[in-house]
Structure 1
Amino acid sequence: MLKTSNDSEINDQWQEAIIRISQTLFFQRDDASILSALMPLPIPCRFIDLVLFLPRRHFSCDRDGPRAGPEPDLEQDLPENHSRCVLPVASPRRRFGDVYFTRTDGYHYSQDERAFLRRLAQLLAVALENLAVQDTLRLENEVLRHERDHHRILVDVTNSVLSCLDMDALASEVSKEIHRFFGIDYISLALCENAGENVRLNRYVTHYQAGKPMRREQTRVPLAGNTLAQRALAQTEPLVINLQDEPQWAEDDPHLAAMLREGVHTLCLLPMLFGHKPLGILKLAQYQQGIFSESNLRLLSQITARIAIAVDNARAYDEITRLKDNLEHENIWLNEQMYNSGSFGEIIWKSAAMGALLEQVQMVADSDSTVLILGETGTGKELIARAIHELSARNGKPMVKMNCAAVPSGLLESDLFGHEKGAFTGATTTRHGRFELAEGGTLFLDEVGDLPLELQPKLLRVLQEREIERLGGSKVIPVNVRLIAATNRDLKDMVAERQYRSDLYYRLNVFPILIPPLRERPEDIPLLAKFFTQKIARRMNRTIDSIPGETLRRLSQLSWPGNVRELENVIERAVILTRGSQLNLRLDELQPAASPPVVRPPVPEPAMHRPAPVPLENDETERQRIIQALREANGIVAGPRGAAMKLGVKRTTLLSRMQRLGISPQAW
């Protein structure tokens, strides 16, 4: 025992030792450091060996310091000069283990010394409990930090992909975000596409390689056979494959075989589902092992679910855009409005010549034959085409109009047959052509004589085979369309001059209809003048209920080189100038014409030459002015930079003239 002057001095030494031990213990960060903190302290009770037993581990401490070693046999008999004190290490909430104090100096522990050691064991328990609390807090903090990082990644990826409505941009954003957060080298977004009865995968692949530029590619492959893609689509959980362990998957897949040769071994395939509907697969690959841990797979599955929503959104947006474009085209190029009741709508006639023509219209309407409408500019070829359509069995389907002279030659093929996405610069979406828009109905090709020679064989093929191919595509699309063509040119002469294919001419000329010019049916002119006066006055919110007889007589004497369209222009100008209820048409402007029009299809020569009219603005000249203004305004009609402002007319007036001349703002 320690020799001291008195008991109070011993108690003070023990108290001081307890304080110093407690101050030291609570700054330790692990079990071994707590144990080692006991040894160098000057305590009044000298123990030589100390062993701390905790569940599944123990620590020993002697003059050489603390250590974890083989478990000593503490149950064996002690030597004669050894004594031992065994105490529990326990707090009010839990028991940590036991502590063994062994004395080798030949003395036994006194009652006071045992009390001191019990106090020491209690301090040890408090220190271990404090350490356990710290460990628990550290683990919980690590879990929270990990979850926070995962949530942050999930939010960032979600915000990035859900804002992408274009599929190419979506695929690019997905690869960028996954590479940024996970360092994954190979990202493939494979989307299911239906191609008839078969299913294809549209793959967007991004490959990151150290020291090399990023590589992107897009391919379409059939989904057939026993492939990893089919296996992944058939389940809802991620599929992780090591190609080194299962090389059979690369035997029939050149893409996987190439990856294996490049050293990419570990694959992860995550099925994309939306409402239990498989949309595709997110395929990830990595050179090194261990990237696809359980935690990462859980996060990647959540990211894949967000990508599936983005894919569905992009497809819905693409479908809405396509339908919107179709509606817009139908609004512009299909039936602008339903015409008046009756067999021939707005066809105004009284003459025998028109009566004979409309009899032909009734006869051919019941058939499905191709019709070629001939006539001078402005005779109303589109009205005759509409009448044929309305009297046919196809009247429940659309009639699509296309003016071959109004569309630039470089856009004619795309406009007529459609194009696939990416077929040319600016083709950001798949577009249906006029043949597809007219499915089940009628396609009216106006000014078919202006069709470029290189496109004529393709039109001939459609007439013969009843099928088309979109520009940039390879898929054959069957079409069920009746064709009505119109021209003011002499196609027979063009064939003789090798400006038009003879086989196409014969295909178009199955049932020709020649519309007589207005000068050959003068009895129709008063009816047309009254009709146009009422129509235009109603549009301008005017009331004009009569036309002077002399005006009608003078109108009937003109040769009208511009035909019905020219007559409508003259009436519109007169309505604008009229201030009362009677049409004010200046008679001095209505001089009898003396010469027939220069450009016209072959028709019988007039019986006599008539005087020439006062020069009016030629329809073709007006047409070119409007087209040029639309080009300069990028197709915008109204507004301070619109074509109407450039031409110095009202928006409604310009739209009326564009409709009359068959001009579409979207074509420019």
Structure 2
Amino acid sequence: MDKILPAQTGKSDTAQYCALLKVSEAIAAHRDLPSLFRDLAQRLPAVASFDFIGLVLHDTTKNVMKVHVLETAAARPHTTRLDGLELPIEESSTGWVWTHQQPLIIPSLAEETRFTMGMTALRGIGVQSVCLLPLTTARRRLGAIGFGSLKPSAFSDADADFLKQVARQIAVAVESALHYEQAQKAQRELAHERDRLRLLLETNNAVATHLELRDLFDSITASIRRVLKADVISLTLLDPELNQLKLYALDFPGANGFIEEGTTCTLCGCPATTAITQREPVVLSRQELDQSESTVSKRLVAEGVKSACCVPLLLRDRTLGALNVGSLQEGAFTLADAEMLSEVAKQIALAVANSLAYQEIAALKDKLAKEKLYLEEEIQTGYNFEEIVGDSQALKRVLKQVQTVAATDST
């Protein structure tokens, strides 16, 4: 062990055994690591003097040491948080403990010259001495558990011996918690994939069932809401000739009327502009909506919308518009949500293209019908003129004279 101090603890074996029992009770009572460490921060100071207890795990993906939990034994919480801090193994004292699988006591951080980045972070919250122990099970080396004190030389080798017993129990709890988190993550991923496939299937069925675009939109809003936290769903269509966007369809229960169907805006005055021009999904935060100068964004903010996601309607090299969702909650949409919505938008884009083609065909049919009617009227007019001439000898003589004069230079 590095820099071990002489034994200074007078804690009785009985008290320490009782403390170990309390550690076991805490482990049994808490499934998640933050709540476990909050409990330990209150239980253990009775037998081991410390001000901070922290959990640092090795991140195998980045090969760094990451602070997962840092709790204080004091009644007031510390103002500076180190949770989430990542350090290179060689710059972290816990990295040394994890690598060498040995306890490490540093009696004076002020005098420690190693682990520059890690020592700087600990000094920043007032820590003057630490006791660090490896967290290891029979299956893997997890990381380290650290105890910090606002006093120098706060830990003895007797403290370290006792805390090693604590660390062994906590290592098993940490491994179990990590397995539980991994299982929960896998379950969430499976649920997300199930919801994605269900949404795509329902959208596909809606596209096949509903010929009218508005009917299609109405049928998929419920499906979208089952998967996403969407308070508002809208469909905006692009008019490339006018360089203008039109709010074709809007589903916003409880809206206050600040935004309505049929609203038009220039391409540079709409939250969906970036999605349309860059042909990529866009997730908008509350701050981005608040700071936007577009009229539509201001109306959304007035309605209480605090986050949004816009995905383009793409069909080969054409951009037809955007499918948009908004929420009254902050941070309601993730990039994974945007990707899912993009797949829905691909199917809707086909329906939009079909609808636009249908409208063009209908307009062409109407034009042809009008031209046909005009020609029929012209023909009818000519036919009626022949009827007027009929067998009238007088009219025939006049027409004959007109024909004779027309063939000469007479005026």
Q: Give the C-alpha shift of residue 436 in structure 1.
A: 4.4
Q: Give the C-alpha shift of residue 165 in structure 1.
A: 1.4
Aligned to 2:396: none
Aligned to 2:397: none
Tell me, yes or no, if structure 1 residue 169 matches structure 2 residue 174: no
Match of 1:294 among 335, 344, 363: 335
Structure 1 residues 207 and 17 mapped into 2: Cα distance closer, same or farther (>3 Å)? Answer: closer
Listed as ranges, the gaps of 5+ residues in structure 2 are 1-8, 57-66, 83-104, 110-129, 150-155, 394-411
Give SS of 1:49's match.
Answer: coil
Larger Rg: 1
Structure 1 residues 431 and 118 mapped into 2: Cα distance closer, same or farther (>3 Å)? Answer: same
Q: Give the C-alpha shift of residue 245 in structure 1.
A: 2.4
Q: 2:342 corresponds to which letter in structure 1?
A: S
Are 2:20 and 2:166, in contact at CA under 8 Å, matched by a contact in 1?
no
1:147-158 → structure 2 map (5 Å cutoff): 147-158=193-204
Match of 2:168 among 113, 122, 132: 122
Give SS of 2:278's match.
Answer: coil
Q: Give the C-alpha shift of residue 236 in structure 1.
A: 0.7
Match of 1:32 among 24, 33, 37: 37
Q: Give the C-alpha shift of residue 207 in structure 1.
A: 5.3
Give a deviation string over 1:546-597, Cα, whole Å, max 9, x none: xxxxxxxxxxxxxxxxxxxxxxxxxxxxxxxxxxxxxxxxxxxxxxxxxxxx
Structure 1 residues 207 and 88 mapped into 2: Cα distance closer, same or farther (>3 Å)? Answer: closer
Structure 1 residues 189 and 66 mapped into 2: Cα distance closer, same or farther (>3 Å)? Answer: closer
Structure 1 residues 162 and 216 mapped into 2: Cα distance closer, same or farther (>3 Å)? Answer: farther
Structure 1 residues 192 and 165 mapped into 2: Cα distance closer, same or farther (>3 Å)? Answer: farther
Give a deviation string over 1:98-128, Cα, whole Å, max 9, x none: 46699xxxxx978xx9877644432332222
Are 2:230 and 2:326, in contact at CA under 8 Å, matched by a contact in 1?
no
Structure 1 residues 234 and 512 mapped into 2: Cα distance closer, same or farther (>3 Å)? Answer: farther
Partners in 2 of 1:207 and 1:135 — Cα distance?
37
Are 2:233 and 2:326, in contact at CA under 8 Å, matched by a contact in 1?
yes
Aligned to 1:145: 191
Aligned to 1:90: 136
Q: Give the C-alpha shift of residue 291 in structure 1.
A: 4.3
Tell me, yes or no, if structure 1 residue 274 matches structure 2 residue 279: no
Tell me, yes or no, if structure 1 residue 310 matches structure 2 residue 356: no
Are 1:190 and 1:201, in contact at CA under 8 Å, matched by a contact in 2?
yes
1:383-462 → structure 2 map (5 Å cutoff): 431=366, 434=369, 436=371, 459=377
Partners in 2 of 1:226 and 1:145 — Cα distance?
37
Partners in 2 of 1:288 and 1:18 — Cα distance?
43
Give SS of 1:278's match.
Answer: strand
Partners in 1 of 2:75 and 2:370 — Cα distance?
93
CA RMSD of aligned residues (A): 5.6
Structure 1 residues 189 and 100 mapped into 2: Cα distance closer, same or farther (>3 Å)? Answer: closer
Partners in 1 of 2:257 and 2:299 — Cα distance?
18
Aligned to 2:249: 205
Partners in 2 of 1:289 and 1:133 — Cα distance?
30
Give a deviation string over 1:238-295, Cα, whole Å, max 9, x none: 3567565232x44xxxx78876776778775432111222233335566665445434
Aligned to 1:479: none
Give a deviation string over 1:119-139, Cα, whole Å, max 9, x none: 443233222222232233333
Q: 1:166 corresponds to which letter in structure 2?
A: E
Give SS of 2:322's match.
Answer: strand
Number of residues paired by the alignment?
313
Q: Give the C-alpha shift of residue 314 in structure 1.
A: 4.5
Partners in 2 of 1:257 and 1:128 — Cα distance?
47
Q: 1:169 corresponds to which letter in structure 2?
A: D
Partners in 2 of 1:18 and 1:264 — Cα distance?
50
Give a deviation string over 1:430-451, Cα, whole Å, max 9, x none: 6565554699xxx6x5xxxxxx
Aligned to 2:280: 237
Partners in 2 of 1:293 and 1:138 — Cα distance?
18
Partners in 2 of 1:269 and 1:236 — Cα distance?
10
Q: Give the C-alpha shift of residue 296 in structure 1.
A: 3.3
Q: Give the C-alpha shift of residue 53 in structure 1.
A: 4.5
Structure 1 residues 310 and 182 mapped into 2: Cα distance closer, same or farther (>3 Å)? Answer: farther
Listed as ranges, the gaps of 5+ residues in structure 1 are 5-9, 41-45, 78-83, 103-107, 323-418, 421-428, 446-458, 464-482, 486-504, 515-600, 605-668
Aligned to 1:575: none
Give SS of 1:279's match.
Answer: strand
Give SS of 1:234's match.
Answer: helix
1:5-24 → structure 2 map (5 Å cutoff): 24=25
* Structure richer in helix, relative to its length: 2
Aligned to 1:183: 230
Q: 2:55 corresponds to which letter in structure 1?
A: L
Aligned to 1:49: 49
Structure 1 residues 294 and 218 mapped into 2: Cα distance closer, same or farther (>3 Å)? Answer: same
Q: Give the C-alpha shift of residue 76 in structure 1.
A: 4.3
Partners in 1 of 2:176 and 2:22 — Cα distance?
15
TM-score by length of 1: 0.36
Match of 1:160 among 194, 206, 227: 206
TM-score by length of 2: 0.53
Q: Give the C-alpha shift of residue 303 in structure 1.
A: 2.0
Structure 1 residues 237 and 69 mapped into 2: Cα distance closer, same or farther (>3 Å)? Answer: closer
Are 1:49 and 1:60, in contact at CA under 8 Å, matched by a contact in 2?
no
Q: Give the C-alpha shift of residue 237 in structure 1.
A: 1.1
Give SS of 2:210's match.
Answer: coil
Structure 1 residues 98 and 244 mapped into 2: Cα distance closer, same or farther (>3 Å)? Answer: closer
Structure 1 residues 204 and 211 mapped into 2: Cα distance closer, same or farther (>3 Å)? Answer: closer
Structure 1 residues 218 and 142 mapped into 2: Cα distance closer, same or farther (>3 Å)? Answer: same
Structure 1 residues 159 and 191 mapped into 2: Cα distance closer, same or farther (>3 Å)? Answer: farther
Are 1:188 and 1:205, in contact at CA under 8 Å, matched by a contact in 2?
yes
Are 1:26 and 1:127, in contact at CA under 8 Å, matched by a contact in 2?
yes
Are 1:53 and 1:59, in contact at CA under 8 Å, matched by a contact in 2?
yes
Structure 1 residues 54 and 430 mapped into 2: Cα distance closer, same or farther (>3 Å)? Answer: same
Structure 1 residues 436 and 312 mapped into 2: Cα distance closer, same or farther (>3 Å)? Answer: same
Q: Give the C-alpha shift of residue 308 in structure 1.
A: 0.7
Are 2:282 and 2:338, in contact at CA under 8 Å, matched by a contact in 1?
no
Q: Give the C-alpha shift of residue 18 in structure 1.
A: 10
Q: 2:174 corresponds to which letter in structure 1?
A: L
